[in-house]
Amino acid sequence: MPADAHALTHARPTPASPGRPGLLGWLSTVDHKRIGVLYLGSGLLFFLLGGLEALLIRLQLARPGETLLGPDIYNQIFTMHGTTMIFLGVMPLAAGFGNYLIPLMLGARDVAFPKLNALSYWVFLFAGLLMNSSFVFGGAPSTGWFAYAPLTERAFSPGTGVDFWILGVLLLGLSTTLGSINFIVTILQLRAPGMSLNRMPMFAWTMLVTSMIAVFALPSLTVAILLLLLDRQLGTHFYNVAQGGDALLWQHLFWFFGHPEVYILILPAMGMVSEIIPVFSRKPLFGYRVVAYSSVAIGFLGFTVWAHHMFATGLPSAALLVFSADSFLIGVPTGVKVFSWLATMWRGRLRLTTAMLFAIGFIALFVIGGLGGVSLAVVPVDWQLTDTYYVVSHFHYVLFGGSVFAILGAAYYWFPKMTGRRLGEGLGKLHFWLTFVGMNLVFMPMHILGLLGMPRRIYTYAAGKGWEGWNMIATIGAFVVALSMLVFVVNLIRSLRRPPTHEADPWDANTLEWTTASPPLAYNFAEIPTVRSARPYWDAKHPDLADWKARR
Amino acid sequence: MTAVATADARRQGIARTGMLAALASETVFFGTLLSAYLFMRLDQPGWLQITATPARLILPVLNTSVLVVSALAVTLGERAVARGSQRGLAAGLAAALVLGLVFVGGQILEFSSNGMRPGDQAFGGVFFTLMGFHALHVLAGVVLLGINLVRTRLGDFSPARHIAVTMGTWFWVYVTAVWLAMFVGLYLI
């Protein structure tokens, strides 16, 4: 790194902790970095809880005729596993990185609405605790994460579990909507001078699109569950066919939210990978605008494919045709991104740090998950495979191999910025390889189990169907993944106990968050920089090779 | 531009963008409610529905005009503060606030005079839900206008600085527009 690399910030004051010290400081904070850390910490705890639930599921399914959980508890566990991982794990972890990084990446001092930001976090935490408290207050919901009505109607789910689920998801919808409005306004209004939309870091682009998707998709879920709540508590008949209601209404409302939700989970991950790969390839992101606009295209197309979750419900054949075609179409902008990442790495000077390994793992596994999705867009294939383990395998390749891998990569990449310390690379590589091998051991056999006809959501199965071996492999894989997460937690704790080195720019990176101290100042930047390209820090470190000069 | 003017412009940009995003979300909310209702009606010959006879429409039309007039009042109030008339702003806000409460009262009367209950087939729930969620938004608007009225009395607004008034106006006009869509959906089609 050249000596004048720090020109952008001139003086680099020593890191100051933002806000009041101690517990009260954390409880009362409206600082985006602290709220980001709160999101990340809570998200990690819920993620580990969801992981324990996954282990219970895999133990129950390891052998035919297992009696560890029993059908009722099993249903509660898989419902809470899905709900937790999606709403309390991956979404808050993405929100945590977004909160911490977006103002720093944009050259802003905070988000647009800091108090609203704190409200979003506390509502999320309360909702998560509320939902999980149902385990001790009369049983958790047991109707699956998509909670199909009329199964969730009072007549068929008389306990309070569904009501806990409804209230929890309502609050999480509120939290996410407020958080998304905050991101949208921050990104559109608080960028540093000179940072046009086309000079934003790609993570800011994907968070912008993600937030817009959330703002447009979540109300559909809100309506669906409000109607369900009214049906359950006030005796309306929205989902009751006998009284003029509609049994398919829930599925339409839910999936109009539910499919865009997949992109809410994957787009931030794509943004993280788009930050990591250029830095460790020592090249600018290939086709910056194409990558940015393909996110926008995914955002739009994501709203046109919801009924591919409903191919088996007897939709008219014209609808099958349209939704199938759209589902193929959405593979195009997704594929464009994959080729952009590969082209960025092509002939780059690769540094295989743990963050980079997770990013490369993301590409490999996400492509497998994406191809599974494309195969399910073929209506007859879907008719054969819907509600089998093939589908479970597909979305875990996308959400675990995709979202979670990117988040883990992001943890290794941005941990030094947040704490002033690097995570151990030795343990990190062990973590990566255990996760990669374990993940494939769990989910690759599920493709085969699905093709062999094993339905999802059954709590046990009889011997002799050819499912035993694959299930045992998947369970072993689940414990390998659990071991890998243990390694991660050990790595986190060990790194935090080391004295900080306060490296401002450990990876020789390109974006503004690396120009300030590690951890950053309470007010982020001593001086707000003026931006002239998509790689402002690169420009500052290499004035002769600055991107904005190359364009001329 | 002076530093104060720049900060003001930024604050206004933040408020406008935030309100637009929130209203976009609300639009999907009400749009989904209406579409859910219309979707349920498809292929249901025995669907229970309000028959839109002229006599039956008197109260809803009166209610609707009350809300439309209130939207006019709030808009005129905002124009007044832009011209520097504090009194005009206070009058517009107060009129809209009262008319808003009259509207909610009228909606309650309309719902109860119908003899319909939330549990009366699917439409009872639809009627209750569409009117109820809209009325809740009107009440939220009443609170917003009330805060702005108090702030007017405190002298918070000037021709150059009254973004909170503008946002309150946006919200109120938006909620009025939503009701027009609900009216068409519930009574006319």
pLDDT, one tens digit per residue, over A1-22 is: 343 444 444 444 444 455 667 8
Check pLDDT > 60 for residue B29. Answer: yes
Percentage with pLDDT > 90 across chain A: 91
Q: What is the number of domains present in chain A?
A: 1
Name the CA dihedral angle for A7, A13, A18, A20, rounded to a multiple of 10 degrees.
-170
| Identity of the residue numbered A536 | P
Share the mean pLDDT of chain A: 94
Average pLDDT over residues B135-147: 98
Beta bridge partners of A524: A521
Q: pLDDT at position A17, please?
A: 52
Sign of the alpha-carbon torsion through A509, A511, A513, A516? positive
Strand, coil or helix: what is A333?
Answer: helix
pLDDT in tens, A104-151: 999 999 999 999 999 999 999 999 999 999 999 989 999 999 999 999
Tokens (6 digits) for A502: 């306060």
pLDDT band for position B1 (50/70/90)? low
Name the CA dihedral angle for A66, A70, A74, A75, rounded to a multiple of 10 degrees.
130
Q: A304: buried, middle or exposed (CB in 10 Å: 19+, 13-18, 0-12)?
A: middle
Domain housing B93: 3-43+51-188
Tokens (6 digits) for A16: 């100051």
Cβ distance B40 to A246 less than 8 Å, yes or no, reads: yes
Whole-angstrom distance, CA of residue B100 vs CA of residue A355:
56
Chain A CB contacts of B46 below 8 Å: 244
pLDDT in tens, B90-120: 999 999 999 999 999 999 999 888 778 888 8
pLDDT band for position A552 (50/70/90)? very low
Q: What is the DSSP string of B96-129?
A: HHHHHHHHHHHHHHHHHHTT--TTSHHHHHHHHH
Q: Count the neighbouring beta carbons within 10 Å of the beta carbon of residue A458.
A: 11
Chain B CB contacts of A256 below 8 Å: 32
Minimal CA–CA distance to A8: which of A549, A551, A488, A504?
A504
Share the mean pLDDT of chain B: 93
Interchain CB contact of B177 with A (< 8 Å): no
pLDDT in tens, A373-420: 999 999 999 999 999 999 999 999 999 999 999 999 999 999 999 999
Whole-angstrom distance, CA of residue B38 vs CA of residue B22:
24
Domain housing A181: 41-551
Contact B173, B97 (CB under 8 A): no
Chain B CB contacts of A230 below 8 Å: 118, 125, 128-129
Cβ distance A177 to B25 less than 8 Å, yes or no, reads: yes
Q: What is the DSSP string of A344-377?
A: HHTT------HHHHHHHHHHHHHHHHHHHHHHHT
Contact A194, A530 (CB under 8 A): yes
Minimal CA–CA distance to A157: which of A218, A241, A72?
A72
Q: Which residues, 6+ apart, have CB-to-CB distance to A345 below 8 Å?
A: A277, A281, A283, A360
Residue of chain A whose alpha carbon sits nearest to that of B48: A244
Contact A266, A330 (CB under 8 A): no
Pick the residue of B17, B20, B25 with the most A CBs within 10 A to test the interface with A by mutation.
Answer: B25
The position carrying tokens 């082209």 is A343
Entry pTM: 0.95
Whole-angstrom distance, CA of residue A75 vs CA of residue A544:
62
Whole-angstrom distance, CA of residue A367 vs CA of residue A339:
11
The answer to whether position A272 is within a domain reads yes
Tokens (6 digits) for A452: 């062999």
Whole-angstrom distance, CA of residue A414 vs CA of residue A102:
12
Query: Count H helices, E strands: chain B?
Result: 5, 0
Query: A356-365, A483-492, A524-533, B63-72 — which is least confidently predicted?
Result: A524-533
pLDDT in tens, A239-272: 999 988 998 999 999 999 999 999 999 999 999 9
What one-character DSSP code corresponds to residue A149?
T
Cβ distance B125 to A223 less than 8 Å, yes or no, reads: no
Minimal CA–CA distance to A238: which of B118, B187, B160?
B118
Q: At what angle do helices A331-345 and A288-301 cross, to 10 degrees?
A: 160
The partner residue sitting opposite B121, judged by closest CB among A243, A252, A256, is A243
Q: pLDDT at position A11, please?
A: 41
Q: Which residues, 6+ apart, have CB-to-CB distance to A477 below 8 Å?
A: A437, A438, A439, A440, A441, A442, A443, A445
Check pLDDT > 60 for residue A551. Answer: no
Chain A CB contacts of B121 below 8 Å: 237, 243-244
pLDDT in tens, A415-440: 999 999 999 999 999 999 999 999 99
Q: What Cα–Cα distance (Å) separates residue A446 from each residue in A80, A389, A505?
A: 20, 5, 42
Strand, coil or helix: what is B156?
Answer: coil
Q: pLDDT at position A15, please?
A: 47
Q: Count the neighbouring beta carbons within 10 Å of the beta carbon of residue A55.
A: 16
CB environment A537-550: b (16+ within 10 A), e (fewer): bbbbbeeeebbeee
The partner residue sitting opposite B36, judged by closest CB among A190, A234, A249, is A249
pLDDT in tens, A476-524: 999 999 999 999 999 999 999 999 999 999 999 999 999 999 999 899 9
Check pLDDT > 70 for residue A173. Answer: yes
Whole-angstrom distance, CA of residue A384 vs CA of residue A378:
10
Q: What Cα–Cα distance (Å) separates residue A407 from each residue in A47, A97, A294, A347?
A: 12, 9, 21, 26
Side-chain half-sphere of A412: how many Cα atoms within 13 Å? Answer: 28
Q: pLDDT at position B189, please?
A: 82
Interchain CB contact of B160 with A (< 8 Å): no
Would residue A490 be called left, alpha or beta, if left means φ above 0 and alpha means ψ between -120 and 50 degrees? alpha
Beta bridge partners of A388: A455
* Gap from B87 CA to chain A (nearest CA, Å): 31
Side-chain half-sphere of A202: how many Cα atoms within 13 Å? Answer: 29
Strand, coil or helix: what is A159?
Answer: coil
Q: pLDDT at position A10, please?
A: 42
Q: What is the number of domains present in chain B?
A: 1
Whole-angstrom distance, CA of residue A20 vs CA of residue A24:
7
In total, the C-beta contacts within 8 angstroms joining chain A to chain B are 102
Cβ distance A244 to B47 less than 8 Å, yes or no, reads: yes
Name the CA dihedral angle for A216, A222, A223, A224, rounded to a multiple of 10 degrees.
110
Average pLDDT over residues B148-154: 96
Percentage with pLDDT > 90 across chain B: 76
Interchain CB contact of B46 with A (< 8 Å): yes
Cβ distance B118 to A252 less than 8 Å, yes or no, reads: no
Chain A CB contacts of B49 below 8 Å: none
What CATH number does the domain containing A489 carry? 1.20.210.10
Q: Is the confidence metric ipTM above 0.90 for this complex?
A: yes
Pick the residue of B11, B34, B40 with the most A CBs within 10 A to test the interface with A by mutation.
Answer: B40
Percentage with pLDDT > 70 across chain A: 96
Average pLDDT over residues B165-189: 95
Whole-angstrom distance, CA of residue A75 vs CA of residue A457:
7
Whole-angstrom distance, CA of residue A119 vs CA of residue A123:
6
The answer to whether position A1 is within a domain reads no
Contact B24, B159 (CB under 8 A): no
Pick the residue of A113, A182, A189 with the most B CBs within 10 A to test the interface with B by mutation.
Answer: A189
Average pLDDT over residues B69-73: 98
Cβ distance A184 to B121 less than 8 Å, yes or no, reads: no
Contact A478, A438 (CB under 8 A): yes
* Gap from B47 CA to chain A (nearest CA, Å): 7
Chain B CB contacts of A218 below 8 Å: 25
Report CA A133 to chain centroid distance, whole Å: 24
What CATH number does the domain containing B143 carry? 1.20.120.80
Residue of chain B whose alpha carbon sits nearest to that of A225: B33
Tokens (6 digits) for B2: 């002076």
* Gap from B7 CA to chain A (nearest CA, Å): 11
Q: pLDDT at position B54, please?
A: 84
Q: pLDDT at position B56, please?
A: 85
Q: Which helix (H) or strand (E) holds A336?
A: helix A331-345
